[in-house]
Structures are given as structure tokens and as C-alpha cells.
Structure 1
């Protein structure tokens, strides 16, 4: 699912919309159903789901998609199914019914496969022939405008997932050695903590705040963290006060996305929960829902009970708009009450 707070693309026809969808999602969909939501004349959201298995009831995914789109305060939508008619048509029909039930105007319902598109709503042979209408997204002005604006549409979702995949080979061996060194450094930090510092909590937080500050500063300068710095940071992020400190300083800026992507890819598997969640949050805040989803999948695959990942999973599944966090972190997350410190407590 993805917000569309990006350079505007002029969509004037079904072929233009089909050309725009990969840039709204960040990749070319296949075996999918996509709902493009509009508010007035502006596209505000695109949501994608896998086509259900032929024996599965499409009503469940359809209701979910309709609910997500409705929460974007959209008033109209177009449905696009990708794949063979036998698999696409039942799903598109179910999504159409769910959108109508949710009170959204249905502008069109399309099927796309093998370089052709069909409309489920148009029955005029001159406009929508039975054999479908050919289209060439490479020749579309929408594609040219998107590329000129720097937008990217990866070949498929697997290519997007590869952008957050763990490094391998010599880079992985180097990170394992760096993490071993960082673990010894961490033990020493806790052992040197004064007796009044229970379990070294204050020392860990101070070291974590410094590591996060240095990482963000290096990223602003365009500098990449070395293996030792990444290993030290990922270990300290397992301390929740440090993770929350980093979270409060993470937004939808490109540098935040770049930093946490790099840290996630290089972190050891047992240490990915925090950087994966921070990347998920940054991507979601930036309106890059597909990137947020693949980062979250990495976190939950290894750490299915990680609380921040579960919270973000709920936000993405419910389609909560990133705009609800304008003013973060003062406003808190939707559904999470942030208690303000009293002035007396502050003193």
C-alpha cells in the first residue's frame, strides 16, 4: 500500500492509469489486484493485494482493500486486475462490490495482461473490443514524466525485497566479526557501570544516544558507517530506550530511509528487528508503502513478536495515512497515548 505524495502524473485515460500504477507502487505488479483511490481529481493512494488462490473466497481481500481505501478519505476509485480472466474477474467483481458498499464511486474496472487491457464497465466494441486494447507503457507520456521526475518502477516485488535483503559473502563474514567485537565491547561497558546504574541501563542509553547521533550526522554528510559502527549501533538498538530515541528522530526523509536500509542489510539476523522497524516507519512516513511492507516482512520473519513491528504491521494493514502523524513525535502514534511530562516532573 502506498501514498502518492510524489511528483504529479497527468492521467487522462485507462492506458495512462495502467502506465502510472507501477510508479505509484514502486514496482510492476503481477498476479495482483490494485485499487487506485482518488479524492476529487487527484490520485491519493494505491493499494495492492495478491490475487487469491482459485479456490479461495475473494470477498475477504476485497473487503480489506475497500476498508483501507475508505480510510484514505477517498471518494472514488478504479480497480485494476493483473492476470488471466479466470483468476482476475472474480476478484475484481468482489472488490467492485466492496467499494460500492463502502460508498466510493467506481470510475472503472480493468484487467491487464500480455500488453493488453480490458474494461469491465465498457461494452462498446469501438472503444473496448473483445480482444482488448494494446498498450505500450514505454510510449506513454506518463512513463516519460515519471522517469523525468526520478520515480522508479522496479521489475517486480521481488526486486523491491532485494533492496532490503541481507548482504552476503565477505561482507557478511566481516559483519559477523565486527558484531563479535561489539559484543565484547558491550560486556565491558556494562561491567564498568557504577553500582548505582542498575544493569548498566544509564550507560547503555548514553552510549546508544551517542551512536544514533553519530550515525545520523554521518548520514547527513553522505558518509557510510563502517562495519564496527553498524555492529555497535545494532547491538545498542536492542536496548529499548535507545531504539525509542532513534525512533523519535526518524521521519520520512530520504537520509533516514538510506541509513536504516544500510543498517538493516548489514545487521546480523538476530539484531534486525529494530533497524527493520525503523526503516518500515521511515518508508511509511515517506509514503513508500511497498518498501515499508518488505522491510516489515524481514522483521516479522525473524522476530514475529517484536512489539514495534506488530504495531507498524497494524498501521499498514489498516491503511492509516502517514498524514495522521504530522507533527511526530509530539502527536504520538494513532491509538497510542503519549503522556506529557508535567513541569514539576521535568524540574
Structure 2
């Protein structure tokens, strides 16, 4: 899910919309069903899901429709456009199931499109003058929308796999170095607890967060030892909350948590990946936020902050619902 906060794009046709969708998601969708919600003429929200196999559509549809209706309503969207990417055999069964259920709500279904082999087809328009049965060819590279998006600083990856790879764990010598540094950091933490107790641990964590922020604000990165020390402290909720309070939508915050998420010892990735998701979500980059939450929950399925952000993303809630979280001095989530 993404709540676009990018500059307005002059969308006046289906081809314009289809050119804009990858910039809304952050990547070019394939074998996907995309729902775009509109408030008036403004795109309020967009979501993407893998297309189910035709034999699994009925089982897939109930939960999917409920989540999309919640998303659209939470975004105050009054109209929706469905876009299926892939062959007719898989797109049509999904669209035929989704559209009547959306239409039965207070959401106006403006159009339903299929994109296959560089052509788009409308399921709702029957006018051969604008929607011929053999589809309408379009070239997103030749669209003014792509130019507007690029000038506005929007970027798009070739597919979802590329987005996943952008925050995947580092490998090779870099991974070995951090694993070794993490073992040393864990021993250092044990010594600190035995000598200074929990209060000393929290003070050390607060200093590690301050050092992190100063380093990345200066366009530098943490050393392996510094990163390992930070990541063995972040699982402490009080320390994680100091980092959470300092995290917002600035581009370097996303870059900072991306670097830490990639380099962290994988069993310790849930806190930094959750904070990456939070920073990305605050920027309106729901696709990156969703990928980051996947990493967090894969490392720790019970991590409460990841679960909280995951639920908010699935419901299409605006990032402002967590304005002021966590509240200083108040009990926090684990």
C-alpha cells in the first residue's frame, strides 16, 4: 500500500494512469492486481497484491476485498480503479470477482483495466472507439507522465524483486565481519549489564542512537563494531523508542535504516527493519514499508512494532495515525 505524497501528476487518460502506477508503487508490477483509490480527482491510495490462480480466487477474494474496502475508506477514497497485470486467464477471474464486490459498497468503480503485452483492455467500457477488443497499445516511456515523475524526483525499480533486493541482507565478507562484531557486542552488553545494570544499558543505548543520527546526518555510516553495538541494544524497547521518536520522513532517515537493516545480523533485524518501515511509511512509500515489515516479521513474527505497522499498512491508514508515537514517559510496546 502507498499513500502518494508526491507532486500531482497530470493524469487524463488510462495510459497516463498506467504510466503513473509504477511510480506510485515504486516498481513495475507484474502478475498483480492494483487498486487505485481516488478522492475526487486526486489519487489518495494505491495497493498491489499478487494475482491468485483462477482455482483459488474464491478463497482469496473474501479477505482481499475486506482489506481493500478498509483501505479505501480509511483513505477517504470515493472511487476506485482496478488494474490487473498479466494474461487474461489469471487477470479476468480476479477482476470479475473483485469488481462486483467493490461495486456493492459505497465505492464507485470508475474503471477496471487489464495490462497484457504492452496493451490495456477495459472490462467496463464497451465503446470500440476508445476501447477496442484487441486493446490499446501504450508506451510508458513516451508519456509525459514519466517525464513529470522523474523531474519530481520519483524513481521506479524494474520489479518487486528489485525492491526486496534493495534491503536484503549483505553477504560475503561484509556479513562475516558484522557477525563477528555482533558476537563481541553481545559480550560487551553482558558485561555492561553486570556492571551498570539496566539504567547503564539504557544510557548506552541512548548514546548509540545519538551517535547513529549524527553519523548519518553527516552522510557517513556506522562502522561494523558501532552497528553491531547499536543492533544488540535496539531490542530493548526503551532504547528502540528513543530511535523511534527520532525517526521521521527525511530521506536520510530512510537511507540510514536501509543501511542498518541490510547490515544487521539477521536475527536482530526486526527493530531496524520496523523503523525503516516507519520512516518509509511516513514518506508515503508504502511499497518499501511493506517489504521492510516482511523482513521484520520473518526475523521475529511476534515483534509488536512490526505487527502494529503491518496492520496499519493493510488497513490503508494514513501515517499521521502514529503522530507523536511513542509517547515519552508512557508504557511502550515490546
**Aligned pairs, how many?**
328
Q: What SS class does the counterpart of residue 284 from structure 2 fall into?
A: coil
1:26 maps onto 2:29 in alignment: no
Whole-angstrom distance in 1 between the partners of 2:100 and 2:321: 28
CA offset digits 1:175-209 (Å, max 9, x no partner)? 1121122122212212222xxxxxx1101100000
Displacement after TM superposition at 1:162 (Å): 0.5
Whole-angstrom distance in 2 between the partners of 1:30 and 1:326: 34
Displacement after TM superposition at 1:53 (Å): 1.9
Displacement after TM superposition at 1:327 (Å): 4.6
What residue in structure 1 maps to residue 51 of structure 2? Answer: 51
1:206 maps onto 2:203 in alignment: yes
The root-mean-square deviation of aligned C-alpha atoms, in Å, is: 1.7
Aligned mate of 1:134, from 137, 140, 155: 137
Aligned mate of 1:275, from 260, 266, 272: 272
CA offset digits 1:328-347 (Å, max 9, x no partner)? 555x9xxxxx679xxxxxxx
Aligned mate of 2:102, from 91, 99, 103: 99
Whole-angstrom distance in 1 between the partners of 2:191 and 2:288: 37
Higher mean C-alpha deviation, range 57-66 or range 156-165? 57-66
Q: What SS class does the counterpart of residue 38 from structure 1 fall into?
A: strand
1:172 maps onto 2:169 in alignment: no
1:249 maps onto 2:246 in alignment: yes
What residue in structure 1 maps to residue 233 of structure 2? Answer: 236
1:73 maps onto 2:76 in alignment: yes
What residue in structure 1 maps to residue 36 of structure 2? Answer: 36
Aligned mate of 1:319, from 289, 304, 316: 316
Whole-angstrom distance in 2 between the partners of 1:325 and 1:174: 36
Displacement after TM superposition at 1:94 (Å): 2.4
* Preserved contact between residue 54 and residue 94 of structure 2 (Cα < 8 Å): no
Q: What SS class does the counterpart of residue 54 from structure 2 fall into?
A: coil
What residue in structure 1 maps to residue 262 of structure 2? Answer: 265
What residue in structure 2 maps to residue 335 of structure 1? Answer: none
What residue in structure 1 maps to residue 288 of structure 2? Answer: 291
Whole-angstrom distance in 2 between the partners of 1:313 and 1:86: 31
* Preserved contact between residue 70 and residue 102 of structure 1 (Cα < 8 Å): no
* Preserved contact between residue 47 and residue 69 of structure 1 (Cα < 8 Å): no
* Preserved contact between residue 63 and residue 95 of structure 1 (Cα < 8 Å): no
* Preserved contact between residue 54 and residue 93 of structure 2 (Cα < 8 Å): no
Q: What SS class does the counterpart of residue 152 from structure 1 fall into?
A: coil
- Aligned pairs (5 A) from 1:142-153: 142-153=145-156
TM-score (structure 1 length as normaliser)? 0.91
CA offset digits 1:121-153 (Å, max 9, x no partner)? 111212111110100000000011111212111
Which blocks of at least 5 consecutive residues in structure 1 are unaligned? 194-199, 333-337, 341-347
Whole-angstrom distance in 1 between the partners of 2:158 and 2:35: 19
Q: What SS class does the counterpart of residue 70 from structure 1 fall into?
A: helix
Whole-angstrom distance in 2 between the partners of 1:94 and 1:209: 51
Whole-angstrom distance in 1 between the partners of 2:174 and 2:271: 20
CA offset digits 1:289-314 (Å, max 9, x no partner)? 11011111111112111121112221
Whole-angstrom distance in 2 between the partners of 1:95 and 1:263: 39
- Aligned pairs (5 A) from 1:111-130: 111-130=114-133
Whole-angstrom distance in 1 between the partners of 2:187 and 2:326: 34
* Preserved contact between residue 270 and residue 302 of structure 1 (Cα < 8 Å): yes
Which blocks of at least 5 consecutive residues in structure 2 are unaligned? none
Higher mean C-alpha deviation, range 243-252 or range 1-10? 243-252
